[in-house]
Structure 1
Amino acid sequence: MIKFFRKIRQNLLMENLSAEQAGKTSKYFKYAIGEIVLVVIGILIALQINNWNENRKSNKIEKEFLSNIYNDLVIDSIQFTYYIETFKSVEKLHFQLYQIGINNEVLDSINEPALIRRSLYFKQLIDKDFKEKAFSISNTKVRKALIAYTQLVADMETSYKQELERIISDDLRPYLGIKKLYNTKNLFKLKDKFFNDYTFKIVNGLNLVDKNKLIELSKTDEFQQILFEINLKWNEFHSRLLPVIRENDKLRVLIKSELNNY
């Protein structure tokens, strides 16, 4: 009988120990799972902070990039204004020479005769090379507008360099030299010594191109043929320039609005 009760007691003790051990194991697993959850949360928070920092750096770089583009567009727009004014002056001279040569009109005066050989300093800050850089811009609307703008600039550049500049340098200037229209003695009297970009002083009575000879030359069929071609090239360039100016204005407004979002 004593052995029977002793056995029962031992069984109860074993059950208590098993229960206690199970409780400890359960607590250990809960603790381990909690630790894992905390580690995962910590990693996620660290990744989020890292992403936030990277986005902040990326936004800062993009804002600076867009700001530089905006400033370049402003400078280009000033250049375009110069192109328009030059075109108007050249177009006026062309028309005057046409009136004299074709219509036999007598004019009291003509525009600055040196404009007949005028070319442009042609280098846009926002050119076709920006097409590749534009893909780094996150705003789709701005990116597409910049890519479209650079294409218009490329078309205008092609029109100028392959057509207008070529006929001025290869045909017109040598022709004027052969006809002895250049007042060579006036070159250094007119050249501005403070600049190295072929800037000339405005001095009354001194011209690089002889006005009277130009008027007489305009009465020949040979000159009118050249004038016809060069005027077409100037107008072609002008037709390419106008949409570039419009898109420049639109793009500056768009970028300025985008910069306010950073």
Structure 2
Amino acid sequence: MIKFFRHIRKNLLNEGLPAGQAGKTTRYFKYAIGEIILVVIGILIALSINNWNGEQADHKREIKYLKSLKNEMESNLKSVNTEEQRILDYMKREAVLAKIMSSPKAVDSTSDKTIFNFYYDIYNNDVVTNIETGAINEIISSGGLQYIKNDSIRKLIASWETKTAILKLQEEFLKDTSKKIENLFFDEELISTRYFYSLYASFDTQKLGEPLGENSLKPLLQSKKFESLCLLHYGRCGVMINRIYPKYKASLNEMIDLIDRELDK
């Protein structure tokens, strides 16, 4: 393209003109215009190339961010599904426990080992969903949002901290209830702590001594406070299953779907 315009300029310069100063002036004027046109065209081409290179670099950054974000969302979805199943298992066991506590006959026929297993299987483990936020944090902290073209993805990224905070808050409520239930298992007024510990397979009676006197965990099942806390825990598990996790999973799936569409373009 540049050679083409240089050829035109050369033709203008060599064009036969009448002799005299007026002819020389016209010829040099045309030459100057040709030079200006060539410079302008060169600048425009250079700008176009720079813009194209910049757009390509920005697109590569966007693809990198989107892929890392998708991997993170898929990992989070697996974590939510894992904890969701764990809570469902808790709720099944708690439903059995609640039914036992509603019947004095059932309480009498329940062994201490069974009561201990309810504690160990349900209340001894906190619900902690492993939510990864490294990719989102990097995008936000590095100014990467400017490279994400899809407005819906950008809005989801901007609101993700709030969505995660809501989930974590509900987990804290559940953890607090579990802690209160756990404390009752170590309440000497209800049961012997030494006896409760002796139900652990690792309890060393040689070093720690045998529990003294008559011991039973049944008073725990007859405690109204214990029953209320267990039902509260069951209800908060229900909130996680019916409200918190479904909304969070919907946002995860929405993000993954939006990213897939962008990557397919």
Q: Tell me which of 130, 138, 151 is aligned to 2:149.
A: 138
Cα distance in 1, alignment partners of residues 227 and 49 from structure 2 = 72
Query: Is the Cα–Cα contact under 8 Å of residues 127 and 174 in structure 2 kept in the other structure?
Result: no
Aligned match of 2:259: 255
CA deviations 1:67-126 (Å, max 9, x no partner) are 001001111111011111111111111111110112447388979522321212333113
Query: Is the Cα–Cα contact under 8 Å of residues 153 and 259 in structure 2 kept in the other structure?
Result: yes
The number of aligned residues is: 220
Q: Which of the pair has more CA radius of gyration?
A: 1
Cα distance in 2, alignment partners of residues 81 and 166 from structure 1 = 22
Give 5+ residue unaligned stretches, structure 1. Answer: 1-17, 190-211
CA-CA distance at 1:213 after TM superposition: 6.0
CA-CA distance at 1:157 after TM superposition: 1.4
TM-score, length-scaled by structure 2? 0.71
Cα distance in 2, alignment partners of residues 27 and 39 from structure 1 = 19
Amino acid in the other structure paired with 1:124:
I
Cα distance in 2, alignment partners of residues 254 and 98 from structure 1 = 43
Aligned match of 2:13: none
CA gap of 1:56–1:32, structure 2 versus 1, over 3 A, is same
TM-score, length-scaled by structure 1? 0.72
Secondary structure in structure 2 of the residue aligned to 1:186: coil
The reply to whether residue 175 of structure 1 matches residue 175 of structure 2 is no
Q: How does 1:19-34 map to 2 (within 5 A)?
A: 20-34=20-34
Cα distance in 2, alignment partners of residues 254 and 143 from structure 1 = 11
Aligned match of 1:89: 89
CA gap of 1:129–1:232, structure 2 versus 1, over 3 A, is farther
Cα distance in 1, alignment partners of residues 244 and 129 from structure 2 = 14
RMSD between superposed Cα atoms in Å: 3.1
Cα distance in 2, alignment partners of residues 138 and 95 from structure 1 = 49
Give 5+ residue unaligned stretches, structure 2. Answer: 1-17, 205-214
Secondary structure in structure 1 of the residue aligned to 2:95: helix
CA gap of 1:131–1:86, structure 2 versus 1, over 3 A, is farther
CA-CA distance at 1:224 after TM superposition: 0.4
Q: Percent identity, aligned pairs only?
A: 25
Aligned match of 1:71: 71
Aligned match of 1:232: 235
CA gap of 1:45–1:221, structure 2 versus 1, over 3 A, is same
Secondary structure in structure 2 of the residue aligned to 1:125: coil
